[in-house]
Amino acid sequence: MIPPTPAQLGYRMPAEWEPHRGTWLSWPHKEATWPGKFEPVPGIFARMARHLAEREEVHINVAGPTQEQDARRRLAAARVDQRRVFFHHHPTNDAWCRDHGPIFVHRDVKEQREQAVVDWGYNAWGGKYPPFDLDDVIPSRIAAEQGLPVFHPGIVLEGGSIDVNGRGTLLTTESCLLNPNRNPHLGREEIESYLRSYLGVSTVLWLGDGIAGDDTDGHVDDLTRFVDPTTVVTVVEDDPADENYEPLQENLERLRGMTDQDGRPLRVVPLPMPRPLYHEGQRLPASYANFYIANGLVLLPRYDPVLDEQAAATLQGLFPDREVIGIDASDLVWGLGALHCVTQQWPAR
């Protein structure tokens, strides 16, 4: 007998702006992810934790007591209120909790909210960065620790490759989810079926390619994000000579023709791209779309003084009841990810 899927049981993935219990992080420790630039990275995590802990719980995966002690020292130096910080001895291979962390779904039963975890397979973006065995089991470890049911779809999918409006619509990209380095045996319709069955969505919207320098093969959280049930922001490059210009224009045109689960056209708000960033000749995937939405807060990666303010003003207008706080992500993005890539929301029950 085939067990029922989360959707059949009434579960859905909530939108990121819905109330949180907290935020999950995996403490950075792999120096090879930021060669020559690792030293500032834990401090960036600590600054994020300071702002988050003012508004919600912060849950941090660490390898054990030694790493916890180091993280606590960094948090203290950043003046983090550690009464709302909780450490979990779950060793990881790397720090990208958006992609290896638990994706929470919930349902309402008899006026009570029940949660579960969906544990997708994880292969470090197509096997690019082995080993990844520790990261692959993080969702199930957290589910067991928290006493939550866990669902195993049996296919590879990273959290940064999807974005939902919490009402039934999901955004993703062809360049990532259809890449043969994830699930070569599955086509578009089969992948859509998994998304509907395990995340409770009804409509899947497909963008094309990602931005230059993105080693994830085009995660949507560097491109386009829901900011309310009917509105998306999408990054746009103004320089026709830039290699991001054409793919981002194509995504913009696709969005303008898309509708949500109820057939309503999306409201599309352009978001600027920062100036190109390079390190040792490598283009970095710097994008203002890689922001993180928390309780009363939006954390925005900062890269460029002039364009930072333009991006912040755009998001502040879209989130009038949340404070938009910029955090310098110039060193963090040398690891090829930014603020959204290292966070995973834990919805409130």
Active site residues: 341
Phi and psi torsions of 155, nearest 5° = -130, 165
**Would you say how long the chain is, in residues?**
349
Residue 165 and residue 15 in contact, taking contact as beta carbons nearer than 8 Å: yes
Query: Minimal CA–CA distance to 204: which of 188, 224, 225, 181?
Result: 188
CA-to-CA dists, residue 282 to 16, 94, 98, 279, 311, angstroms: 31, 21, 23, 5, 24
For residue 314, the one-letter residue type is T
Task: Tell me if 134 sits within 8 A of 94, measured CB to CB.
Answer: no
Whether 90 and 141 have beta carbons less than 8 Å apart is answered as yes
Sign of CA dihedral 212, 215, 219, 221: negative
Three-state helix/strand/coil letters over 221-287? HHCEEEEECCEEEEEECCCCCCCCHHHHHHHHHHHHCCECCCCCECEEEEEECCCCCEECCEECCCC
In this structure, what DSSP letter does residue 314 have? H
CB 247 within 8 A of CB 214: no
* Nearest-angstrom CA–CA distance, 225 and 310: 17
Q: How far is CA 72 from CA 34, 45, 78, 160, 316, in A?
A: 21, 11, 10, 27, 31
